Chains A and B, each alone.
Chain A
Amino acid sequence: MRAIFSIAKTTVGEAVRRKVLLVILLIGLLFVVIAPSLTVLTARQERSTLVGLTLGVLMLTSALIAIVLTVYMIPNEIERRTIYTILCKPVQRYQFLLGKYFGAVAALGMMIGFMSLVMVITFVVFQREQRISEIAPLLKVPLMTFFQTALLAAMAIMFSTFVTPLVNFFLSAGLYFVGTLFNPLFQTMVENPASSPATKALGRVFHIVLPNFANFNVQNPVINPGQEIVNEGLYFAGTIGYAFLYSGIMLGIAVLIFDRREV
């Protein structure tokens, strides 16, 4: 456990020092800050536009950071041969992998937290929303985005044990886009009377097998308030549980592959 913690701590330090991640973070923050300048619509529309843009930027930036952060994580250690200095110590391969993953998740948490803080300050300053009841719903989205990106990071780390970073980038990004599309697409497919039973069955198989990032997209009622939401707490708990389960599968596969890999 101590080994995992030490590796995670080092990984966080590395992530913070990486310029490319800081540039992505900076661009994301810039968008969050300039969003209030879009004060051209009606009072309600202005707020929903601002919330929609800000949360969209936050989600997109977080996903990009998660992919860029994790695709190079293992291959870089192997390429630079720094992995030998770690594995020659009493550190198991699975401990190294998990340490890297938890470090990445911690770094992601820090960055999402920082963006959320800027978002809250922006709303307090520009929108003059100072009541907790106005600000608190906004924070639901970064919370779910954190678990979404944690799952994304687990998937990217799993791929990084056997594919090159470039392939991993496109593979992870592609699966992320497909995964965020799952629920609306599946809904359309099921509701379309023209869909054959075979198509629906195939859709369901994909829906079960591939990681479903759409489950974490809970921003709509935050952008368009006043909707009737049922069992929200239970849904959030279930989705976080889903993130743990699927990340566990990804990390399990990663450990199995990495254990037999020549480094």
Chain B
Amino acid sequence: MKKQKRTGLIAAAAVMFAAQGALSQGFLLPLWQRNYGTAQQTVTSGLAPDQLLFALAGFRELVAQLMWVRADSFFDTGNYDAVLPIIRIVTLLDPKQIDVYATGMWHIAYNFTDEESRSDRRYIPSALALGAEGARQNPQTYELFFETGWLWYHRIDDNYENAVRWWEEAQKRKDILPARQNILGMAYQRNGQIQEGLDLYFAQLRRAEEAMRKQNDFGASQQRDTVENNIDTMLVRMGQRGWFGRQQGLTNPPVPYDTDPPFNVGFSAQVAVIDARILRVRATWNVRPVGTRIRMILRDADYPNVQPGGLKWDASDAVSLDPPRDRTFMQDQLFVRNRRVERRIDMSRDPTMYPFISDKYVIEFYYNPRSAPPHIQDKFGWNGEGMTDPNFLNTEVRPGQRVVFASLELTREQLLRLGEWRNKTPIVQTENFRGDERFRRDMETIQIPGLRTERPANESPIAPVR
């Protein structure tokens, strides 16, 4: 080849080199990161060397898919611990896998339980953080906004403002299913936003009728019927619970609202450590109809990010697969039958879930009418305006709401029956607790009041204070 040609070729190569650099840096890289970039972090741990090599070399999705197939076999065999790291690695390798995020959140939040099927609540912040990360990575779809809202609404079953916040975001996405839009109305009600709930239902009704005009199939008519039913029920409840009257400043209506006068729930509680790590809980609650569940929490006195009746569940953005194993956080629901609670809580078989390392512990009892079933709410109202308690009514732990909140304290020695408590049963109770006849009755008989139940003419189905 002649020198001139060689020089020309070198010059052409230099021009092409400059052009490819400009093209790659100025145009392709930003677009690739926008459209096809998969992860914010490089995964280096938790992968076998061959997987790591493949994952790093542009086959992230392939490795993620293979690992997810492997995770499925772990689900089948009930090996839930093994699934956990796989979920994390798969979501890091390919954060566009919506199902992995959704399944992972559900798995973390629901499947880790003790021998008595109580969830390990220490995992919930991780489940929420995973949902938030998934929503950030997949902002185009409603799904992870909805799933995260569902955790707030159903799993945490408190702090409904967060359920509302996430579901309002889900609502903004075009792919949300009509049936899934309806539940935001329930979240509004539980968050005390009654008018917003009603407005949403009417907007839903308009959409459903519009959809029916376009395509009158079973799905569309069912959605219309559902929304109509929701509106009917809600309007009745709003009337009976005095919402309309109160909005109009009608404080002394001719027919009293169902929520008037506030009903005294008469809460009292006693906790006995009947053996190491085994509690017997007794409580009184004057509500006769079945359906009351009082939240009970036993936790380290210095557990981080606490708030009365729970935790600040979303205090951290970190998706930690390892919950704070040196911490104890037990949450249970005390089911009220015959106006009393008697429950045995055995934490002795799950030392990893209940390590009891701290010296001091707090027991909390918490009842929020917003979480109550509708037939109880009919009396108590959405925000507890129809409920009172002379000792434990609290309007501060949840601003704008009337909840019942009480706390007791225990020490590690008491809980583990060590030292002076080896042969002595530690008992802590609220000052008003009386070992009355309620606890001497047969616990297995549930007395359900009904229209034919004999009771004095002036006694309502919800029993008065004794």
Contact = CB atoms under 8 A, between A and B. Distances in A.
A230 B35 contact: yes
Q: Is the interface of A mostly helix, strand, loop or mixed?
A: helix
Given A212-B24, A230-B35, A185 B42 contact: yes
Nearest to B72: A40
A250 B37 CA distance: 27
Nearest to A45: B99
A212 B36 CA distance: 14
Contact of B61 (A44, A52, A241): A52
Q: Is the interface of B mostly helix, strand, loop or mixed?
A: helix
Interface in A28-60: 38, 40-42, 44-45, 48-49, 52-53, 55-57, 59-60
Interface string A208-247: 1000111101111101101111111011001101100110
Nearest 10 CB-CB pairings of A with B: A56-B62, A180-B58, A52-B65, A224-B96, A252-B13, A245-B20, A177-B57, A208-B21, A49-B65, A52-B61
A259 B1 contact: yes
Interface in A155-181: 176-177, 180-181
Contact of A230 (B34, B60, B66, B138): B34
A198 B138 CA distance: 33
Interface of A: 38, 40-42, 44-45, 48-49, 52-53, 55-57, 59-60, 93-94, 176-177, 180-181, 183-188, 191, 204, 207-208, 212-215, 217-221, 223-224, 226-232, 234-235, 238-239, 241-242, 245-246, 248-249, 252-253, 255-256, 259
B23 A241 contact: yes
Interface string B30-44: 011111111111100
Interface stretch (B4-12, B159-167, B348-356): B4-12
Nearest to B37: A187
Interface residues of B, number: 54
B69 interface: yes
Contact of B16 (A44, A177, A232, A248): A248
B59 interface: yes
A73 to B, nearest CB: 20
B27 A238 contact: yes
Given A186-B29, A218-B36, A238-B27, A41 B9 contact: no
Given A188-B40, A256-B9, A235 B35 contact: yes
A51 B13 CA distance: 38
Contact of A224 (B17, B31, B56, B94): B94
A183 B140 contact: no
B60 to A, nearest CB: 8
Contacts of B140: 226-228
A173 B17 CA distance: 22
B23 A184 contact: no
Contacts of B1: 93-94, 255-256, 259
Contacts of A208: 21, 24-25
B346 to A, nearest CB: 36
Nearest to A204: B25
A183 B29 contact: yes
B358 interface: no
